Structure 1
Amino acid sequence: MSTYIIASVLWLIALWRLPSVRHSHKQRSLALTLACLAAAMTFEVSAVRDAVNAAAGVDTRLPPLLKHLFGVTSAAYLLDFVIAVVRPQGLARRTRLVAIGITLPLMLAFYAMANWMPGGPVRLGGGRREIFPVLYMAIFTLYIGVAMIVATWLFLGGVRHSRTFMGKSGLVLLGLGTLLGSAYALQRITFVIVRLSTGADYPGLENSLSTSLKQAAILSIALGVCLPPISVVVEYIKAWNALRLLQPMWQCLTEAAPYVVLSASVSKRRVPFRLERRVIEIEDACLALREYVTIDIRERALVFAESKSITARDIDVVAEASWLRVAASRSARGDLPLKGVEYPPLGVTGLDRASELKWLRLLTRAYNSSTVVAEFLQQEQSSSPSMDSPEKVPSHGS
């Protein structure tokens, strides 16, 4: 893939994450990781490399040095980020500071003293000062390799603690990216060892393999970084949709039991919090309204639903929607709650949040749309002469 495209994508992601620098230490480390990665890849773009060489001189070989310095810095920030995510209590902070504090100066010193071959990618030279290119590549590769191995261990170890599918996927991609980064470091070491021990040199193969592993690692890390924020957006949209779907039943139940509605106002933008509040108010309304009916009416609702060929999967939902409609009708009429009787149970009892929301969505649909529920309400009203005319359940928009 073109280095220009990869650098452009990285800069777009880095600029997207830039505002989060002020939010927290974790977000700051992530934003700086992306900025350093983007800068490192920028020096691989031929136009940028040629411009820097023209300004500083080809013999200075500044682009490879800057690329490696930004690469090491991005690895340091990435390690800082993953530790903040999966080990918020911290991990070897002093050791990490000492490591990066030693690595960067040594790289500068060894690079300045090395006798690099002119032109092309970074290659080992010959003669008296050949040891310095070896030391430069050793310190660079060692830091990248160790940092990527530790990051891989932490990212993949944190997968089981993530609560969402996209969160898990993001950590897996980040772990894959750092694993590829480890492979990149390993192959660099391998080629140096082969050259020093046998004298054999494979510049084409080394450059091709190095570029492929590096680009794959960077793209995997970039995609992994994008997934958690995307998962937040997805969760926000799901919360908004659930809030909209629960609106009709919430409106009907709170009209029958208005005292369950919390008085504090909430910003419309706080959708997840509004959903949490709406669920609580619906459940409180159900608890209040069930005091207007007995468990016998639930049994009649079950029998009535069975007679209408309701599937076994939906029969409990339809039955609960039926007795809730009757209870709401009695409350709206002004009846007093019943005392000393057994009340019908609620279907949300004992469910986790995801199952609870699923149940309430099904209950809302049955409460407002099921003809079986409307027929049962009419039957119950007809069997009680004192009751008013059948309740009309309004259809409210979201």
Structure 2
Amino acid sequence: MTTSTIVAGILWLVALWRLPSIRHSHKQRSLALTLLALAVSMTFEVPQVKDAVNAAVGTDVMLPPLLKHLLGVTSAAYLLDFVIAVVRPHGLARRTRLAAIGVTLPLMLAFYAMANWLPGGPVRLGEGHGALFPVLYMAVFTLYIGVAMVVATWLFLSGVRHSRTLLGKAGLGLLGLGTLLGSAYALQRIVFVSVQLVTGAEYPALANLLSTTLKQSAILSIALGVCLPPLSVTVEYIRAWRTLRQLRPLWEQLTQAAPYVVLSTATSRRRVPFRLERCVIEIEDACLALREYVSADVHTRAQEFSRQGGVAEHEIDEVAEACWLLTAAGCARTGHRLQGVEYPPLGVTGRDRSSEIAWLRTVARAYLSSPVVAEFSRQEQPSALHAHGSEKVFPHGN
């Protein structure tokens, strides 16, 4: 199996994987068409396919190189459209890009038809009548690929710092590396053709080696870069699912004590990130409601009890939070709230979402399994219920 066959196979796998997303949005459509055009283009480098096409139309027509280059230009146009949609959603030089591709493809067809090619493919210059047209053909092809890849590299690499996830940054970085290698591919083509025109010297083996290596490396880098952002979404989905499983028992306990904080709207089970967001919000609302059943003194005693119970210093606040929440949940069964007292502070206040979730995971673990929390609640509830009897209290909802 040749390297070109392996590269084409990888491209087809990625292209077919992304093909269903062609209907989702303009951005996804451009990406799917980029991969599809690249896959078909590289298929014409597979020896069996190339031989079959040549046998069908004739070797003199040299159709596989033409189709490969036309599809290469098309894929570059769609890739540029994709990166602009990602990094510059308001657009960038749309009319200029349409004019460039609209001129490039017809010129390539015209110059290819008029060229007098030598055996060996479009890399070689012609002789006699029509000798200039191979140069013009390669110039148009290389100019478009080179400019498109330079612009795409600039956009991809500038978008790395704006990505929110590590895999997203890596994906954009690999896409930028792929387009940078594409720029190097165009540059080396220009160099070899210029050397041949000026000096008459030819280096077909070296030119073919560099051209193939740079092209295949660029394509593989782009294919891998395309895979990482969706993988990032999958990783985030799995992380949200795990976090939801960790917080769900705490949610059940707190919402049993404060059922009125639960939203009535049903949510699909597949919308895990949304369900996690809703779970966190309802836990926060339950904490806010339950703090009205205990005083700030309970929180202070919970901190001291946790410290005496051997809780690690960096987890005392979380365990103390679980202590007063479990106590408050028990008191909430009376249906009355304390008035005229200072309530415990909420530990989630002033945190960003990631640290807030980390905090709630620790609180949930302590609430459900810490013997310190269970013992504190057992000792504290009689005195807390006594406080409900001695303090001025009001029925819930008034």
Question: Structure 2-normalised TM-score?
Answer: 0.95
CA RMSD of aligned residues (A): 1.5
Q: Which amino acid aligns with 1:53?
A: N
Q: What's the counterpart of residue 356 of structure 2?
A: 356
Give the SS at the match of 1:377.
Answer: helix
Q: Which amino acid aligns with 1:338?
A: L
- Looking at structure 1, the residues matched to 288 and 241 of structure 2 have their Cα atoms a distance apart, in angstroms, of 25
How far did 1:121 drift?
6.2
For the 8 Å contact 2:178–2:222, the answer to whether it is kept is yes
Q: What's the counterpart of residue 378 of structure 1?
A: 378
Distance 1:120 1:128, change over 3 A: closer
For the 8 Å contact 1:243–1:278, the answer to whether it is kept is yes
- Looking at structure 2, the residues matched to 223 and 191 of structure 1 have their Cα atoms a distance apart, in angstroms, of 29
For the 8 Å contact 2:122–2:134, the answer to whether it is kept is no
Q: What's the counterpart of residue 81 of structure 2?
A: 80
Give the SS at the match of 1:337.
Answer: strand
Q: Which amino acid aligns with 1:3?
A: S
Q: What's the counterpart of residue 167 of structure 2?
A: 166
Q: What's the counterpart of residue 24 of structure 2?
A: 23
Q: What's the counterpart of residue 178 of structure 2?
A: 177
Q: What's the counterpart of residue 226 of structure 1?
A: 227
- Looking at structure 1, the residues matched to 122 and 7 of structure 2 have their Cα atoms a distance apart, in angstroms, of 19
- Looking at structure 2, the residues matched to 122 and 185 of structure 1 have their Cα atoms a distance apart, in angstroms, of 12
Point out where structure 2 has 5 or more consecutive residues left out of the alignment.
Answer: 388-398
How far did 1:127 drift?
2.6
Does 1:215 find its partner at 2:213?
Answer: no
Q: What's the counterpart of residue 237 of structure 2?
A: 236
Identity value in percent: 72
- Looking at structure 1, the residues matched to 313 and 107 of structure 2 have their Cα atoms a distance apart, in angstroms, of 72
Distance 1:325 1:140, change over 3 A: same
How far did 1:128 drift?
3.7
For the 8 Å contact 2:37–2:71, the answer to whether it is kept is yes
Number of paired residues? 387
Give the SS at the match of 1:266.
Answer: coil
- Looking at structure 2, the residues matched to 340 and 54 of structure 1 have their Cα atoms a distance apart, in angstroms, of 93
Point out where structure 1 has 5 or more consecutive residues left out of the alignment.
Answer: 388-398
- Taking the TM superposition and a 5 Å limit, the aligned residue runs for 1:77-116 are 77-116=78-117
For the 8 Å contact 1:58–1:119, the answer to whether it is kept is no
- Taking the TM superposition and a 5 Å limit, the aligned residue runs for 1:1-398 are 2-119=3-120, 122-332=123-333, 334-381=334-381, 383=383
Q: Which amino acid aligns with 1:223?
A: L
For the 8 Å contact 1:253–1:285, the answer to whether it is kept is yes
Distance 1:271 1:257, change over 3 A: same
How far did 1:161 drift?
1.3
Question: Structure 1-normalised TM-score?
Answer: 0.95
For the 8 Å contact 1:257–1:288, the answer to whether it is kept is yes
Structure 1 runs of 4+ aligned residues shifted over 4 Å read 382-387
Give the SS at the match of 1:327.
Answer: helix
For the 8 Å contact 2:331–2:384, the answer to whether it is kept is no
For the 8 Å contact 2:331–2:385, the answer to whether it is kept is no
